[in-house]
Amino acid sequence: MRKMIFSLLICLSVELSPALAVEYFLATEGNDEWTGQLSAANEDRSDGPFATWERAQRAVRDELARSKSEGGPITVQVRAGTYEIRETIVLDLVATQQRPVLIRNYPNELVRITGGRRLSHFQRVTDPDVREKLTPSARDQVLQVDLKSQGLSDYGVVKTGGAKLYFDDQPMTLARWPNDDFTRIREITDESPHESHGRKGSRVGKFHYETDRPDRWVGEKDIWLHGYWFWDWADSYEKVESVDPQENLITLAKPDHNYGFLKGQRYYALNVLAELDTPGEWRLDREKGRLYFWPPAPLESSAAYLSTLKTAVHFQSAEWVTLQGILVDMTRSTAVRVTGGSHNSIVGCTLRNLGANAISIQGGDHHTVLGCDLYQLDAGGISLVGGDRLSLTPAGHLAENNHIHHYGQRKRTYTPAVGVGGVGNRVRHNLFHDGPHNAVQLGGNEHLVEYNHFHHVCLETDDVGAFYMGRDWTARGNQIRYNYFHHLGHEGKGVGVMAIYLDDWASGATIFGNLCVQAGRAVLIGGGRDNRVENNVFIDCEPAVHIDSRGLGWAKNYFNGETTTLTDRLEAMNYRQPPFSDRYPKLLTLYDDEPAIAKGNQILRNISVGGRWLDLHNGLTDKVVTLQKNLVDVDPHFVDSRHGKYALRSDSPALQLGFQPLPIDKMGLYQDENRASPVEK
């Protein structure tokens, strides 16, 4: 496994003489006029580390220009310290496998790249109008700082993230109500009525609130509401235009939420001065450039930072470059971007406190994210997109041995821990937990999702899967195998939570060797075809497997010409010609063979204990769905199920059916020298 990680070529300098390797050093107290070297005799200070990332990269570029084929790896050792950068570090180095580039922390030293700016000169609030708005308990606790005087004038907007405050390396809470929960829409107006799937709502952003609490907000500007306005799988931020205390009516600014608004749906308010009533809350007055903050501890005990920079590091068409052992935090947007290029790696890094995604890989080939810790993320973790679908050419991107948790903190839905697109990418041995919506979201072909550990995800949403893909006949050849799903999210009022969700005609997937414990609907096949569910273990799931032909029911609009999403995506892949016609021949006859019926699905040699085994809907029977050699509600002889040991004893009746024992011990993280932190057992 490790020999696949190209960055290790840099670390090990295999078969290269140490004398041929080149090292440079970078330090906060360095000087760009120095050589970038460390010397025992350094009296004239001509030797010494560089001061800037730009200067270190120029030295590497000059060294590569001298020779890319001869010599050893080129390493930039970064000494301990906080590098408060004002511009994105653009890595555009083009190295080679014979002479790769490694940028890493000096051994056992903490290197931090931050996109935040440290704030100073906090003062007591003296403005009588502001003090009047604050609750009595907050008036002598809340401090203010003039951001414009510190050169900060770009604050962004709440809807897309904007500036965010951190204190003691923790994200602070934008002043909100309710503090830890949601409130509900009491009633909608009768303007522009809207109905979907039996739900009667309104297209217009006006609604009556439940209590008189919003009466206190009158006169404030830049108030935002975050809510699940119609569906519990679609959240958005909407700006308040006005509050009418006489009618208990909130009017939202245009444009309205695209799904509309529904009585009883949940929301909470943000950036409300009158609700700055708890330590750790803050509010930003964008017009005056003034920030109000109730620090949870004395300011002298820690530092307050405001995120300012969008992206910290950009691998731009780089090749054979590795970033290792670096902590990156407090960016407003994606912290580390990789666009184009080849064989770049992000190894053993920590990415936290970010205003959007942690790492985005777009295009190129054979990029790797290995052994990183990613947490406290306002959006998703890692995006792996690459490969050409028309030619089915794989990209070979890899996300392995990463610990991703507490993600989706601002944008709650469809911001997964790992998002995958294109062709031929891999997601392996990762640990995912504490996310409001899905953990792995996939599109495209022939990806591999294996040996991952999922728990306590889908915590706040409904109609959601820990693993999710859907609405594309052509996204075939994907494998979901040897993953452990357990204790997934809240029980929604609607569809609920799934471990593996093949939504809306997702087809041609292999689901093999997964362990699902208390995982809601463990596998849901929503109208799709040619899926193989084999050799899985389902414990206390409701049900273990669900299959429907939704195209015969509520989703018939996809087959009567009203909605053309499926046919549009089919035609876009040129499926009648190689390689699609060779790889996926069943697409050629799909629309001649009752496409609305979920044909070709196979459910083979699975174990189901407790809960419910199988739901077949829309007239499906075992004549359409292949059901063979499944062990249902028969003691499979686990080693010790009461203590979570689900390996099979040698006398298990499942083995007689051809069931293959699961590699449970290999699921999740593994200990490795390239991990950002040790693996807890």
Contact 349, 326 (CB under 8 A): yes
Q: Is 550 helix (H, G, I), strand (E, B) or coil?
A: helix
Q: What is the pLDDT of residue 413?
A: 97
Q: Which of 420, 450, 480 lies at the terminal end of a domain, its last residue?
A: 450
Contact 365, 336 (CB under 8 A): no
Distance between CA atoms of residues 588 and 577, nearest Å: 10
Contact 309, 113 (CB under 8 A): no
Contact 90, 103 (CB under 8 A): no
Residues 297 and 408 in one domain: no
Residue 41 lies in a domain: no
What's the start-to-end Cα distance of the chain, in Å? 21
Cis ω before 663 (30° cut-off from 0)? no
Identity of the amino acid at 550: R
Distance between CA atoms of residues 346 and 104, nearest Å: 10
Residues 543 and 528 in one domain: yes
Residue-level length of the chain: 681
Predicted model pTM:
0.95
pLDDT band at 301 (very low <50, low <70, confident <90, very high): confident
Contact 185, 263 (CB under 8 A): yes
Residues 423 and 320 in one domain: yes
* Other residues' Cβ atoms within 10 Å of the Cβ of residue 557: 12
Output the six-digit token pair for 579.
């390689």
Residues 288 and 314 in one domain: no
Residue for token pair 């994200």: 171
Residues 111 and 122 in one domain: no
139-181 pLDDT, tens per residue?
A: 999 999 999 999 999 999 999 989 999 999 999 999 999 999 9
* Other residues' Cβ atoms within 10 Å of the Cβ of residue 562: 8
Residues 505 and 414 in one domain: no
Residues 315 and 395 in one domain: yes
Output the six-digit token pair for 61.
């570029």
Output the six-digit token pair for 578.
């190689």
* Other residues' Cβ atoms within 10 Å of the Cβ of residue 323: 28
Residue 327 lies in a domain: yes
Output the six-digit token pair for 567.
């046919």
Is pLDDT of 43 > 70? no
Residue 664 lies in a domain: yes
Q: What is the pLDDT of residue 67?
A: 84
Q: What is the pLDDT of residue 493?
A: 60
Output the six-digit token pair for 403.
């610990």
For residues 363-384, give the mean pLDDT.
98
Mean of the per-residue pLDDT values of the chain: 94
* Alpha-carbon distances of 118 from 111, 114, 166, 303, 304, rounded to whole Å: 17, 10, 9, 7, 6
Q: Which of 428, 450, 472 lies at the terminal end of a domain, its last residue?
A: 450
pLDDT band at 16 (very low <50, low <70, confident <90, very high): very low
Residues 479 and 440 in one domain: no
User: In the chain, what percentage of residues exceed pLDDT 70?
Assistant: 95
Contact 227, 182 (CB under 8 A): yes
Is pLDDT of 69 > 90? no
Range of the structural domain that residue 297 is part of:
116-175+276-305
| Window from 2-16, 122-136, 401-415, 481-495 with minimum mean pLDDT | 2-16
Residue 69 lies in a domain: no
Contact 76, 66 (CB under 8 A): no
Q: Is 649 exposed, middle or buried (0-12, 13-18, 19+ CB in 10 A)?
A: exposed
Residues 6+ apart with CB under 8 A from 412: 235, 436, 437, 460, 461
Output the six-digit token pair for 111.
């290197």
CATH number, residue 437: 2.160.20.10
Using DSSP bridges, classify how beta strands 206-209 and 281-285 pair: parallel, antiparallel or unpaired: unpaired
pLDDT band at 17 (very low <50, low <70, confident <90, very high): very low
Residue for token pair 């996809």: 558
Distance between CA atoms of residues 194 and 438, nearest Å: 28
Is pLDDT of 3 > 60? no
Distance between CA atoms of residues 607 and 592, nearest Å: 35
Q: Which of 307, 224, 207 is nearest to 272 (CA)?
A: 224
- b/e map of 143-179 (b: 16 or more CB within 10 Å)? bbbebeebebeebbebeebbbbbbbeeebbbbbbbee
Contact 415, 437 (CB under 8 A): yes
For residues 497-518, give the mean pLDDT.
98
Distance between CA atoms of residues 597 and 128, nearest Å: 68
- Going 104 to 108 to 360 to 513, the CA torsion angle's sign is positive
Residues 166 and 222 in one domain: no
Residue 16 lies in a domain: yes
The number of domains in the chain is 4
Please give the torsion angle defined by the CA atoms of residues 213, 214, 218 and 222, in that order, rounded to the nearest 10 degrees.
130
Contact 547, 598 (CB under 8 A): yes
Using DSSP bridges, classify how beta strands 484-486 and 313-316 pair: parallel, antiparallel or unpaired: unpaired
Residues 251 and 373 in one domain: no
272-291 pLDDT, tens per residue?
A: 999 999 999 999 999 999 99
Residue for token pair 């090749």: 319
Q: What is the pLDDT of residue 1?
A: 45
Q: What is the pLDDT of residue 680?
A: 84
Residue 663 lies in a domain: yes
Residues 512 and 655 in one domain: yes
Q: Which of 245, 270, 295 lies at the terminal end of a domain, its last residue?
A: 270
Residues 494 and 629 in one domain: yes
Residue 677 lies in a domain: no
Output the six-digit token pair for 503.
């939504």
Residue 248 lies in a domain: yes
In degrees and rounded to multiples of 5, residue 583 shows phi and psi of -75, -35
pLDDT band at 492 (very low <50, low <70, confident <90, very high): low
